[in-house]
Amino acid sequence: MKMQMVEEFMSTVDKDSEYIQSLVDDLVKSCCETLDEYVKWVSALLADSSIHVTNEQLDDIIMTIPTLLYFVGTQQERYGIKRDVSKASKSTLYNKIYRETLGIASVKKAAAEDATFNENLVTTVFSSAYDTIKTKMEYATELLQSAKKVVSRRMTESDLTRFTPNIEREKR
């Protein structure tokens, strides 16, 4: 094994993947920037143990996250469509090149794969953006569910507090 060749290949992969990642990051940012900023605000709120999260802040979280998810989900589906269109275009081009190339099946396959390299990358970009957005939406949904649980627990505690003094008065 030639270590220099391996290192050069790794360097090339790093550069290429950085470019692809930057395309994905741009798509995700255009879709999720507002959601990301809001989640950062909630995370900072929760990270500061000296701050008691108020009922108003919990209400804000419960009302805001679904609204943000609505818009993010719409954009995610658009990227899903673009991913599917890029897959179909790649498949169409692959089949065209395969049919038009002379030679045995392995030669035809290699020619078609070479000719559809860029289409594969575009599909990868949209797939990765779709998956990244999906992960962000899942986290935001979990954050929303957690906020709802805290509100529910507070309501239960409040009900118990209201009920407990009545029991004490009845004993007298």
pLDDT, one tens digit per residue, over 96-109 is 999 999 999 999 99
Residues 6+ apart with CB under 8 A from 109: 98
The pLDDT tens digits for 66-93 are 999 999 999 999 999 999 999 999 999 9
Instruction: Specify the range with the lowest mean pLDDT, choosing from 20-29, 52-61, 124-133.
Output: 52-61
**Average pLDDT score, the chain:** 91
Residue closest to 80 by CA, chosen among 128, 121, 117, 35: 128
**What would the pLDDT profile of 26-64 be if each residue is shown by its tens digit?**
999 999 999 999 999 999 988 888 888 899 999 999 999
Distance CA 166, CA 134 (A): 49
Q: Are 83 and 126 in contact (CB under 8 A)?
A: yes
Dist CA 43 CA 64 (whole Å): 14
| pLDDT at residue 18 is higher than 70 | yes
Above 80 in pLDDT, residue 1?
no
Q: What is the mean pLDDT of residues 109-128?
A: 95
Q: What percent of the chain has pLDDT over 70?
A: 94
**Average pLDDT of 112-125?**
95
Classified as helix, coil or strand, 141 is helix
Reduced to 3 states (helix: H, G, I; strand: E, B; else coil), residue 2 is coil
The fraction of the chain above a pLDDT of 90, given in percent, is 74
The number of beta carbons lying within 10 Å of the beta carbon of residue 155 is: 11
The residue count of the chain comes to 172
Does residue 112 have a pLDDT over 90? yes
